[in-house]
Amino acid sequence: MEDTKSYMFQYATQQKIFEDTGLVTLSEAQSLWDKYQQSIREEWNEFSRPHMCIWQNCNSVTDYGDILKEIDYFDCELENGVFYKITKIIIH
């Protein structure tokens, strides 16, 4: 259900936590995701190592449930303003 507060949002760099919510609705989490899109692009560097995530199916503020969507410096690339998830494949 959209209005169920079973989501959490976080956006942080190595130096600063921009937002770290308790339980929120999907629309609240998505609004925060949209709000910080430009900021994460500006923070995209080795020093900052930004991370932004929406978790779903959270039962409490300590239950992170499942990742709904995530941008992480360690497994994403930023190319022409678009984020891409990098997938590792084992080559035998």
Look at the chain and report how many structural domains it folds into: 1
Q: Can you read off the two tokens belonging to residue 55? A: 């978790």
Residue 92 lies in a domain: no
Residue 2 lies in a domain: no
Residue 3 lies in a domain: no
Residue 1 lies in a domain: no
pTM score > 0.75 for this model? yes
User: What contacts 2, CB < 8 A, 6 or more positions away?
Assistant: 25, 26, 27
Structural domain boundaries enclosing 76: 8-85
Residue 90 lies in a domain: no
Q: Is the pLDDT of residue 1 over 90?
A: no
- Quick: pLDDT tens for 19-73: 999 999 999 999 999 999 999 999 999 999 999 999 999 999 999 999 999 999 9
First to last CA, the chain: 44
